[in-house]
């Protein structure tokens, strides 16, 4: 079997990926503009699409238009396997020669944004893990692209890639790599720290009904005041009859500020309620301001 075409385009695919990584580094996507890195890197999927397309096109022409679905897929599979082997030298050249500080920068950024502790980030941002992940991504990208391009052989003898097939490839890998970026390599730029407060039954709950009504009125007024200030994002009672009575979520710069607001609550002052404050983090835009 003559695999010169597949070998040439597998090498081209690997060289272009190395160039892509190097350009990311040169324009600052791996340091100054690191928050954009996971989104821009998704676009690199156009490289294997282009290389596989050109390889199968040339293979078809070399066979005088007689390529079958099976032969087209095998051609793509060969490119995939060679590209997987070339992942190691590509990653070595980039991480050891082009940008040796890549992993340290990523670990520092992940820890500074609060997404991961340094030791947790280090488990992901390291050379062996990146090589293994790149091999898997290269393999599955190659298989899916090969299948889609090979299926194009069913309807036409000449090699024509339908627009919808290319769009499907882009959707598949943009979705996959976006999940990977958010799940494993989430830079944390959308994460924000809040204060989660648990309201609990206090030691003094034996007041008469008139006093309780007065305290409750002041308690609700205090909630409205904190909400109007923009500091209290969420407030509500718990519906079961336990020691936990309610929750607050504060958007505040300091725990001391939260304590000051809590201590102004008539229910806290009277001892009907006590509270616990816990720093808490979530993604902005979910249910919080």
Q: Both 272 and 160 in a single domain?
A: no
Residue 155 exposed, middle or buried by CB count within 10 Å (0-12, 13-18, 19+): exposed
Q: Do 57 and 177 share a domain, yes or no?
A: yes
51-54: Cβ within 8 A, 24+ apart: 51/9, 51/10, 51/12, 51/13, 51/16, 51/79, 52/9, 52/13, 52/76, 52/79, 52/142, 52/145, 52/146, 52/149, 53/149, 53/161, 54/9
- Residue 55 placed within a domain: yes
- Domain around 261: 191-283
pLDDT at 2: 81
Kindly state whether residues 196 and 278 are assigned to the same domain: yes
What tens digit of pLDDT does each residue of 1-49 get? 688 999 999 999 999 999 999 999 999 988 888 888 888 888 888 899 8
Question: Residue 289: inside a domain, yes or no?
Answer: no
User: pLDDT tens across 230-289, in order?
Assistant: 899 889 888 877 888 999 999 888 899 999 999 999 999 999 999 999 888 776 655 545
Per-residue pLDDT at 279? 86
Say if residue 257 is in the same domain as residue 135. no
Shared-domain flag, residues 79 and 195: no
Same domain, 114 and 208: no
Do the domain assignments include residue 41? Answer: yes
Burial (CB count <10 Å: 0-12, 13-18, 19+), residue 104: exposed
| 204-227: pLDDT as tens digits | 989 999 999 999 999 999 999 999
Q: What are the tens digits of pLDDT across the range 86-117? A: 999 999 999 999 999 999 888 888 777 766 67
Give yes or no: residues 202 and 279 share one domain. yes
Judge whether 288 lies within some domain: no
Q: Is the domain of 175 the same as that of 257?
A: no
The last residue of one of the domains, among 121, 153, 183, is: 183
202 within a domain of the structure (yes/no): yes
Structural domain total, the chain: 2
CATH number at residue 260: 3.30.70.1060
- The residue among 159, 160, 153 whose CA lies nearest residue 70 is 153
Predicted confidence band at 162 (pLDDT cuts at 50, 70, 90)?
Answer: very low
Question: Residue 105 domain-assigned?
Answer: yes
Q: At which of 119, 154, 183 does a domain end?
A: 183
pLDDT at 96: 92
Q: Are residues 175 and 205 in the same domain?
A: no
- The residues pairing with 200 across neighbouring beta strands, listed in sequence order, are 244, 274
Residue 59 sits in the same domain as residue 111: yes
Say if residue 159 is in the same domain as residue 271: no
Of residues 281 and 135, more confidently modeled: 135
- Computed on alpha carbons and rounded to an integer, the radius of gyration of the chain in Å comes to 29
Closest CA to 56 of 36, 39, 78: 78
Residue 187 has pLDDT above 70, yes or no: no
- Choosing from 164, 183, 202, the residue where a domain stops is 183
Instruction: Give domain status of residue 111, yes or no.
Output: yes
- Residue 52 structure tokens: 């596989």
């Amino acid at each position: 079997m003559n695999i010169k075409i597949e070998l040439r385009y597998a090498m081209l695919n690997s060289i272009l990926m190395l160039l892509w990584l190097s350009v990311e580094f040169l324009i600052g996507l791996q340091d100054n503009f690191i928050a954009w890195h996971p989104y821009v890197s998704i676009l690199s999927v156009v490289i294997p699409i282009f290389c596989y397309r050109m390889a199968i096109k040339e293979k078809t022409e070399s066979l005088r238009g007689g390529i079958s679905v099976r032969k087209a897929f095998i051609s793509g599979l060969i490119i995939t396997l060679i590209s997987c082997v070339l992942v190691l030298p590509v990653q070595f050249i980039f991480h050891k020669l082009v940008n040796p500080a890549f992993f340290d920068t990523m670990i520092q950024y992940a820890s500074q944004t609060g997404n991961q502790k340094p030791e947790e980030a280090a488990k992901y941002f390291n050379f062996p893990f990146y090589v293994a992940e790149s091999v898997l991504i290269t393999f599955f990208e190659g298989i899916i692209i090969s299948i889609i391009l090979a299926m194009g052989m069913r309807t036409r003898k000449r090699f024509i890639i339908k627009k919808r097939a290319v769009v499907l490839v882009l959707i598949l890998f943009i979705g996959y790599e976006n999940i990977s970026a958010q799940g494993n390599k989430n830079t944390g730029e959308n994460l924000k720290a809040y204060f989660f407060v648990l309201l609990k039954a206090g030691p003094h709950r034996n007041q008469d009904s008139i006093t309780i009504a007065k305290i409750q009125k002041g308690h609700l007024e205090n909630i409205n005041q904190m909400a109007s200030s923009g500091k209290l994002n969420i407030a509500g009672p718990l519906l079961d009859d336990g020691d936990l009575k309610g929750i607050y979520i504060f958007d505040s710069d300091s725990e001391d500020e939260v304590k000051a607001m809590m201590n102004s609550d008539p229910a806290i002052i009277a001892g009907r309620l006590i509270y616990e404050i816990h720093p808490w983090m979530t993604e902005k835009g979910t249910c919080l301001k």
